[in-house]
């Protein structure tokens, strides 16, 4: 059996570390985007600084994730449901306003 060329040149530990680094980096970028989007609604509803809201919600999510993975997933599912409800209401408002113009 031949060794794959990439494994021969780089070595498995380095290749594994690279793969983990890419996954962690992508996770950080995606989490930041989701956090920024989710917290984007709060300053419109409450009179708070958006940066403070991101820090507080981010710290709360990290705290829940440290406490329990299952609770973290349940919280993420709840946030997703809230965002879907908001998007559905926005779409319904758009359809309703377009029907008034017709």
Res 48: pLDDT: 85
Residue 43 lies in a domain: yes
Residue 2 lies in a domain: no
Res 3: pLDDT: 60
Q: Are 65 and 72 in contact (CB under 8 A)?
A: yes
* Count of the separate structural domains present in the chain: 1
- CA separation (Å) from 96 to 12, 48, 49, 93? 58, 31, 33, 5
Per-residue pLDDT of the chain (102 residues; tens, 9 = 90+): 566 665 566 666 777 788 888 888 887 887 788 788 778 777 788 888 888 888 888 888 888 888 888 887 888 788 788 888 988 999 999 999 998 886
Enclosing domain of residue 96: 8-101
Res 89: pLDDT: 93
Residue 1 lies in a domain: no
Res 93: pLDDT: 94
Backbone angles phi, psi at 40, to 5 degrees: -60, -25
> pTM here?
0.53
Res 9: pLDDT: 62
Res 8: pLDDT: 61
Residue 64 lies in a domain: yes
Residue 36 lies in a domain: yes
Residue 62 lies in a domain: yes
């Amino acid at each position: 059996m031949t060794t794959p060329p990439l494994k021969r040149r780089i070595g498995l530990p380095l290749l594994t570390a690279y793969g983990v680094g890419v996954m962690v980096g992508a996770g950080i970028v995606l989490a930041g985007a989701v956090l920024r989007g989710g917290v984007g609604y709060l300053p419109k509803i409450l009179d708070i600084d958006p940066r403070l809201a991101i820090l507080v919600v981010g710290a709360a999510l990290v705290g829940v994730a440290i406490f329990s993975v299952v609770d973290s997933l349940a919280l993420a599912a709840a946030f997703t449901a809230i965002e879907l409800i908001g998007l559905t209401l926005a779409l319904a408002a758009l359809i309703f306003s377009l029907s008034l113009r017709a």
